[in-house]
Structure 1
């Protein structure tokens, strides 16, 4: 009965007081033997026999023991009780013991077990889960047999666990400073003492308080001292294994703490910029190789640009209407008041775009083009500008000021883009003609 009450007591406690609904969330890139084995055994917790701290298994073991005793099979009774004890130890206590194993290996192995609060909870529940198996063993012990050796072994094991718990509890000293204490916003109002600016920047980035490389998620949750110890350990590692340091979960923040990592990240940034410049230069060269369009009427304005999209379309907006993406007519061009969208790629790619503005409707051109579609466009401000994802822009295409216009879009190269997974640069060519016109319905010429 004592073993059963002890087993269900945590469940009863959390039914009465759920702790305010708090929870722990963390991420870790490193794992060690204990945590890996714990994951393999975790499925047992979901089996009905192990619900409520193993209460169903304790009841079943008691019934088996009681029936065997009534039948005069005392050896079988003790075997059944010990089998229940073994199952309880494997399910509940094994996670606690495996945590101790990782603590003995080293503090870096504890990352996957969570922040200090979660670790403390695991330790407390692990110690509590030892009670029901011990109580069962005491209940089914043989009478009139010296228990000295058993008790000595038990106390020795518990003493060893206590000694191993020392690195576990000391691995998380200190506290975790808040965003305002670390002055993560740079306002100068921080109150955290004893940290250099580099250390504060590192802690801010690890906790996700500073957006770095476009990301603001927390990299880890632990005390300041633990995080700095890990950071400096990685800085030492970076001196002879920079690639290994850059593969760590703290890589985005390490540049604040380690000059060698900061230099490597700066070099990598320059390399990527050069690579990006070369990529776009290749696209511009491919577009420049196409013959320029020869207008049949003199345009008011004419411009050419190599435009890049990562979302199928290039877009045009009047001032104040940025962000609206109209639906496309014939999957080529769409418009709303102050907004224009033109298909330019199969999700992402370059398009060679020519924009022309006219004072009156230009001659219709369909020869040499695969598709020609015209839509109406209302320009509220007379400032239509077509832009791409790299801020490349065609100049104002509505020189007549606010009013109603027609936008005629010519396209070739769509079939090639759809036929091959990696189409050549310059495969898509667009000619965009803008001229006055009050007609609002789209017209498909080809």
Structure 2
């Protein structure tokens, strides 16, 4: 039978609202940081060297999706507890209201104290090094003691013993549920054995689909298998197949728990956050020896990983369109220089050079060794057989390149150029063209008269200016002139860079 209804004081309602608001505050701040950006936070991370009992319990706990949701969004418990308490009180169900209400502070206390208690346990056992980069993230739940205190204050009543029994009962029930979640579930079945990884699923997006969307299409067990194989250093896409596993001592559940911790950090912080970036760097060394952790974690949390790795959120078509826009903008900064004579073929482009800089003019694979090192020693150019290597001052950026093919030797132009040199290069198949280590740009074939020997003359300027420039537009200028010629000697016509 319902007890007589009693009015709820404004003070209690205000305390409850404060508890709900404080519980929701971390989630709201995280969403605001995502939408508006936030100042970077600095953190320290170290590589974990051993696994201790507290850490093992934390890994098992973190591997439970229910715990990840309840810990990440505790307002889903506190909010309904507040609503249930109010409704029960207004209907005169005071005992039910008490049981429902005390669920909130008991739950918040467990959320606040579980990880710090595990950290303290390992601290007593001198095992804090096992937590490594996760240590700082494991102490922030203590914040939830503040809304728990507001809820306790709102629930105070005149009858102390029943309230204490109800609080104790709520804590015991919550602890029993957590114990069931973290209990040893028997021997873990390894699913990332080499045979399993040899047939591991990979996400193959269609042209209009992003990698994150393709990953999300995979069933959860297949995504977890793909994650484990990637985290252990298995290549799911390379022709070489399986690579040696990294950190063999980690169990599948440990790796999955670490992956979910990384996903939690990716989801809570804005891209560029220093603490999360430090965590990613450290975990990368443990997972795959330094490879991209975000792409590996994407198998567990594709949406959160896509926030930190924009390429995961772009389809192949979007990538191509973005590359085309970038190329158009770079090309607009490259004016075609004055050419001597009448070339049979010519083109100007912004050529992107990768790490180390430089590019090639070749006709197939090198037949007389790679002249790249010799070009580095020369500072500009070297040739051997069917390949010439040309060095740039910049690396990982664009240079303006004009190529021109002639049937006969064109006049020499020195004015306006800092350095001019000429080498001999063979074109046995008549396919001499400019290439880089990363791509084959859309430039014409430079063997104007078909297979045979050619002379390649390179003009460069503004290399020192490019080294000082902070613009993303190309500054360094190159002109490649190719014409038939049998000489193989190197001729330097001008070098104003000395």
Q: TM-score, normalised by structure 1?
A: 0.53
Q: Is the 8 A contact 1:387 1:393 kept in 2?
A: no
2:294/2:305 contact within 8 Å kept? no
Aligned counterparts of 1:306 and 1:372: Cα–Cα separation in 2: 20
CA-to-partner distance for each residue in 1:359-384, whole Å, 9 max, x for gaps?
Answer: 11112211222222111112222211
Deviation, structure 1 residue 265: 5.3
Q: Which of 452, 458, 463 does residue 403 from structure 1 map onto?
A: 452
Q: Which residue of 1 aligns with 2:340?
A: 296
Is residue 430 of structure 2 the alignment partner of residue 387 of structure 1?
A: no
Separation of aligned partners in 2, 1:28 and 1:280: 44
Q: Secondary structure at the match of 1:416?
A: helix
Please report how far the alpha carbon of residue 199 of structure 1 lies from its aligned counterpart in structure 2 after TM superposition.
Answer: 1.6
Q: Give the corresponding residue for 2:193.
A: 179
1:330 positional shift: 5.0
Matched, 1:253 2:253: no
Preserved CA contact (<8 Å) 2:294 2:309: no
Partner of 2:362: 317
The one of 397, 402, 426 equivalent to 2:474 is 426
1: CA distance between counterparts of 2:471 and 2:270? Answer: 37
Is 1:102 equivalent to 2:149 in the alignment?
no
Aligned with residue 380 of structure 2, among 316, 326, 332: 332
Shift of 1:416: 1.9
* Matched residue, 1:40: none
Aligned partners of 1:182, 1:28: CA distance in 2, in Å? 27
State how far apart, in whole Å, the 1-side matches of 2:192 and 2:269 are: 32
The alpha-carbon distance between structure 1 residues 367 and 221, as it changes in their structure 2 partners (threshold 3 A), is: same
Gaps of 5+ in 2: 1-45, 56-117, 134-181, 203-218, 284-292
Residue-by-residue CA offset, 1:173-229 (whole Å, 9 max, x unaligned): 5254443343344489xxxxx98112211211221113689x977477421233334
SS at structure 2 position matched to 1:394? coil
CA-CA distance at 1:397 after TM superposition: 0.4
Q: Greater CA deviation, 223-232 or 390-399?
A: 223-232
Q: 1:41-66 CA deviation, whole Å, 9 max, x = no partner?
A: xxxxxxxxxxxxxxxxxxxxxxxxxx
Distance in 1 (alpha carbons) for counterparts of 2:126 and 2:220:
25
Q: State the SS of the aligned residue for 1:444.
A: strand
Q: Is the partner of 1:196 in helix, strand or coil?
A: helix
Q: Does the alignment pair 1:437 with 2:485?
A: yes
- 1:261 is displaced (CA, Å) by 2.6
Tell me the secondary structure at the aligned position of residue 196 of structure 2: coil
Q: Distance in 2 between matches of 1:234 and 1:349?
A: 32
Q: Give the 3-state SS of the residue equivalent to 1:226 in structure 2.
A: helix
Instruction: Report the structure number with the largest CA radius of gyration.
Output: 1
Cα deviation code 1:308-338 (max 9, x no counterpart): 2132312111123288234238522221101
| Aligned length in residues | 296
CA distance in 2, matches of 1:440, 1:407: 10
- Which of 252, 256, 263 in structure 2 is aligned with 1:224? 252
- 1:199 maps to 224
Residues of 2 paired with 1:282 and 1:421: CA distance? 17
Distance 2:328 2:192 in 1: 46
Paired residue for 1:341? 389
Q: Is the 8 Å Cα contact of residues 345 and 351 (structure 1) preserved in structure 2?
A: no
CA RMSD in angstroms comes to: 4.8
Q: Which has the higher contact order (CA 8 A, sep 6+)?
A: 2
SS at match of 2:347: strand
Structure-1 separation of matches of 2:442 and 2:328: 16
Q: Distance in 1 between matches of 2:396 and 2:201?
A: 40
Distance, in Å, in 2 between the alignment partners of 1:111 and 1:220 is 18
**Offset of residue 28 of structure 1:** 3.7
1:272-311 → structure 2 map (5 Å cutoff): 280-287=327-334, 290=335, 292-310=336-354, 311=356
Sort the Cα spacing of 1:240 and 1:178 in 2 relative to 1 into closer, same or farther, 3 A: closer
Deviation by residue 1:266-321 (Cα, 9 ceiling, x = unmatched): 6454579688766654432211xx2x334332212111111121323121111232
Q: State the distance in 2 between where 1:235 and 1:187 align.
A: 20
| TM-score normalised according to structure 2 size | 0.48
